[in-house]
Structure 1
């Protein structure tokens, strides 16, 4: 069966909802809980669970009469990380930014209206924000590289993204009002730089500059995170490192793309 007028297979959509529920649970989940929380009948729920167990995406813990994530989910995660991995040249640029800015540095890549962290350069003195690991793609309204992406989108596309993601308050300082956010994004477009102060994590701030391809299209961002007090005191030296890093990453992306095309021709 397919979803009405959506082009979505209802059974597949339901299976994904089951996976999302099990993944977000603190422990194994029983079938009755899945049915209750997703509004499904128990027979349909067991059918979905059995299918997911057969595919290795869930495991059935018979002693607990419950379900947990299976090994195939980890295989998918490894595959995602392999596909979004930043080219070595871009990784080297991020490492240079890390040293020059004395801050955790990130390369986030644009992927279907999402900014996904593809590489992190950090050390014990300058660690990354805990949740900003490779694969992170949430809260574009509250991250510097997310604001860069939103600033490049046409108004209708931007609103569609925000309708999907929402603008929840990640911290007390998060900009949640779309009118205020729109004005912030206008400034980002004007300066070619995005800054968030305490919006994603209290006491920490981020700065990001855009990376473009050979045609000048936005494809990613070089970003740093650091304690807010340090960003304020060292603003200009940090901005110089980030902007220069974005220029270097743009060159690296162009060279990588050209090399890839040469191999395929």
Structure 2
């Protein structure tokens, strides 16, 4: 069977992606001959790319050495493209907390040192999402994740600490100081840092080993931050209920 994805190129990167797609479609044990036949690819080209993909752990050889399977490096790509899974029971608990509150309640997960949106409040959508995910120091949830990563993750290069607003942290030393405080207090906040007039408070959702695997984040206008903080104890209780449902 011949197979050629739409708009497929012929360069090394395109050919490598086509090989990965064939292995994903055909399944564990896909042979080099099946790949070359499906893609009408010269064997020499296929073998060179297969060896490179195995070396980078995007593919692995099967135990009998006759075929190939997707490697663990693919999982990172899949995770990045797929929203975190949140059980129905956890969503129900979060939705119950949202009722009656006039601020956003969002769930984030920390995956491979990246901030992932797991459950966004439909009534109070997140703003400046690209900036939040790209520059985690601008939001409470992102700061909580950075604090959990610990000192080895820093100092961040100052060029990555963009001045999104006049209140944004632009020096790695000041950020490190704030992260140390977050580790002591067990919560993080950001006021007018991601965008003027915005505020957020984040509390950790902990893994069984006690480390933070995610964050419950309360968001709203900066002028209502004191009111938001008044719900911190209830939010912390909610994180205790969420932990066994998520982890």
Correspondence list, 1:105-116, <5 A: 105-116=105-116
Assess if the C-alpha contact under 8 Å between 2:106 and 2:217 holds in 1. yes
Moved more, 186-195 or 236-245: 236-245
Take 1:119 and 1:81, find their aligned partners in 2: how far apart are those partners? 15
2:177 pairs with 155, 180, 183, which one? 183
Aligned to 2:24: none
Work out whether 1:220 is the aligned partner of 2:214: yes
SS state at 1:141 partner: helix
Aligned to 1:137: 133
Structure 1 unaligned segments of length 5 or more: list them.
1-9, 17-76, 255-265
Take 1:174 and 1:164, find their aligned partners in 2: how far apart are those partners? 12
TM-score, normalising length from structure 1?
Answer: 0.58
Work out whether 1:121 is the aligned partner of 2:115: no
1:196 pairs with 179, 183, 190, which one? 190
Moved over 6 A (4+): none
Bigger radius of gyration, 1 or 2? 2
SS state at 2:113 partner: coil
Aligned to 1:88: 88
Assess if the C-alpha contact under 8 Å between 2:220 and 2:228 holds in 1. no
Take 1:79 and 1:200, find their aligned partners in 2: how far apart are those partners? 25
SS state at 2:243 partner: helix
Aligned to 1:151: 147
1:230–1:217 Cα change, 3 Å: same
SS state at 1:216 partner: coil
Structure 1 residue 143: deviation in Å? 0.8
Structure 1 residue 82: deviation in Å? 4.5
Q: What's the Cα RMSD here?
A: 3.1
Aligned to 2:200: 206
1:165–1:146 Cα change, 3 Å: farther
Assess if the C-alpha contact under 8 Å between 2:168 and 2:194 holds in 1. yes
Structure 2 unaligned segments of length 5 or more: list them.
1-10, 18-76
Assess if the C-alpha contact under 8 Å between 2:188 and 2:202 holds in 1. yes
Take 1:248 and 1:89, find their aligned partners in 2: how far apart are those partners? 10
TM-score, normalising length from structure 2?
Answer: 0.62
